[in-house]
């Protein structure tokens, strides 16, 4: 597969009255053609800032890209002018936002809103755009699309509005679709329908998807690869199987342990990660997760860990993978995964433990 997107050493900051908030700090990831990459993490970890930066939707000021590259088909999106980005935004790269009601204009019919990108980016006539809008509404599973194009957002349910937003995002057959927690505002039954719809549409139009979520249950159903984000950095990347069955970063362990499981024994209580995400106005020295981790080593408070390669697709930013790190066992909830968890923590204990 070919790379459709390659993000290298991305730094994004916001200048506030209190000082510089370093929201994204040296993020690297890539997206292959036709794959779904899920970016997961708590609120405040930098997921949405990263993806809005890809669309160049971060207001400047106060936001700014300090450093890095965002290579899309050989073009660095960081260096493009706003006029050049307007030709890409909505056509080559589209985005589905969290709340469908605030994504739609309440004063415009659904038909006009679906037609807008077709007229702007595809130079379609109004008649051709209306015909295509009906086809798109049918594609996303809305009944009676010929009638529904004449209606307004308030005449649709939450799940139906999200289908409309997906139709708008897919109108120009984008090469990348960014979905920023698209099911958060929906109930569980409708969530499942929307996720199934996105998987089906991806196969039909062969687009690549970046899926932003804090729900690991969603990840298991939609993603090919997962990037775990914390404190403005990506701390672990791997295939879905690697993240679920062979996680190596303590933060990933925490996220997995906090997931309810029908298979967990009654003796194991649901885990909650202690503390709060770091203040990125003054990012912590060393490993950003150290203050919340029971597995923290002395070096975690002194020096930022490098990225260790576990396999061709699995990368972890943690001192626990250093050859001299102590052997540690993942939490019980993580070890209850369906497959045995391989471990290479068989090196001598030379690092001084913090606690």
Q: pLDDT by residue (tens digit) across 72-90?
A: 988 999 999 999 999 999 8
pLDDT for 322:
94
Coil/strand/helix, residue 25: strand
Q: Which of 14-18, 109-113, 166-170, 264-268 bottoms out in mean pLDDT, i.e. has the lowest?
A: 264-268
* H helix or E strand, kind and range, residue 15: strand 3-16
User: In the predicted model, is pLDDT for residue 341 greater than 60?
Assistant: no
Q: Can you tell me the mean pLDDT for 289-307?
A: 94
User: In the predicted model, is pLDDT for residue 6 greater than 70?
Assistant: yes
| Per-residue pLDDT tens over the stretch 255-297 | 998 887 666 556 666 778 899 999 999 999 999 999 999 999 9
| Per-residue pLDDT tens over the stretch 192-248 | 888 888 888 888 888 999 999 888 878 888 899 999 999 999 999 999 999 999 999
pLDDT for 263:
61
Residue 273, classified by CB atoms within 10 Å of its CB into exposed (0-12), middle (13-18) or buried (19+), is middle
pLDDT for 345:
37
Look at the alpha carbons of 191, 196, 200, 206 in this order and tell me if their dihedral is positive or negative. positive
Coil/strand/helix, residue 98: coil
How far, in Å, CA of 49 to CA of 51, rounded? 6
Tell which wins on pLDDT, 54 or 338: 54
CA-closest candidate to residue 297, choices 276, 326, 273: 326
How far, in Å, CA of 349 to CA of 93, rounded? 48
User: In the predicted model, is pLDDT for residue 97 greater than 90?
Assistant: no
Q: Where are the alpha helices (DSSP H) in the chain?
A: 47-54, 82-88, 100-103, 110-122, 126-139, 145-148, 158-170, 188-205, 216-222, 240-245, 250-257, 332-335
pLDDT for 98:
74
Kindly list the structural domains of the chain, giving each domain's residue range(s) and its CATH number in brackets, ordered by start.
3-223 (3.40.50.300), 228-335 (no CATH)
């Amino acid at each position: 597969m070919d790379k459709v997107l390659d993000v290298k050493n991305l730094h994004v900051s916001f200048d506030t009255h209190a000082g510089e908030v370093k929201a994204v700090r040296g993020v690297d990831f890539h997206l292959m053609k036709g794959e779904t990459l899920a970016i997961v993490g708590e609120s405040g970890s930098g997921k949405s800032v990263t993806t809005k930066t890809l669309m160049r939707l971060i207001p400047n000021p106060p936001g700014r890209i300090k450093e890095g590259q965002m290579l899309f088909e050989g073009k660095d999106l960081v260096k493009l002018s706003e006029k050049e980005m307007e030709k890409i935004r909505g056509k080559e790269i589209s985005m589905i936002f969290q709340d469908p009601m605030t994504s739609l204009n309440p004063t415009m019919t659904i038909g006009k809103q679906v037609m807008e990108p077709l007229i702007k980016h595809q130079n379609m006539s109004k008649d051709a755009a209306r015909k295509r809008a009906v086809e798109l509404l049918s594609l996303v599973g809305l009944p009676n699309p010929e009638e529904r194009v004449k209606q307004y957002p308030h005449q649709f349910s939450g799940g139906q509005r999200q289908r409309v937003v997906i139709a708008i995002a897919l109108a120009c057959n984008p090469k990348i679709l960014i979905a920023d927690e698209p099911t958060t505002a929906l109930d569980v039954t409708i969530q499942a329908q929307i996720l199934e719809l996105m998987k089906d549409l991806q196969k039909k139009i062969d687009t690549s998807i970046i899926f932003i979520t804090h729900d690991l249950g969603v990840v298991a159903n939609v993603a090919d690869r997962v990037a775990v984000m914390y404190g403005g950095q990506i701390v672990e990347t791997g295939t879905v199987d690697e993240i679920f069955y062979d996680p190596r970063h303590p933060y990933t362990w925490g996220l997995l342990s906090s997931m309810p499981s029908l298979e967990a024994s009654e003796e194991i209580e649901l885990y909650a990660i202690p503390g709060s995400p770091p203040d990125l106005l003054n990012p912590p020295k060393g490993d950003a997760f150290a203050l919340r981790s029971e597995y923290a080593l002395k070096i975690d408070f002194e020096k930022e860990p490098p990225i260790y390669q576990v396999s061709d697709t699995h990368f972890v930013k943690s001192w626990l993978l250093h050859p001299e790190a102590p052997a540690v066992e993942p939490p019980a909830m993580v070890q209850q995964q369906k497959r045995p968890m391989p471990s290479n923590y068989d090196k001598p204990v030379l690092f001084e433990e913090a606690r």
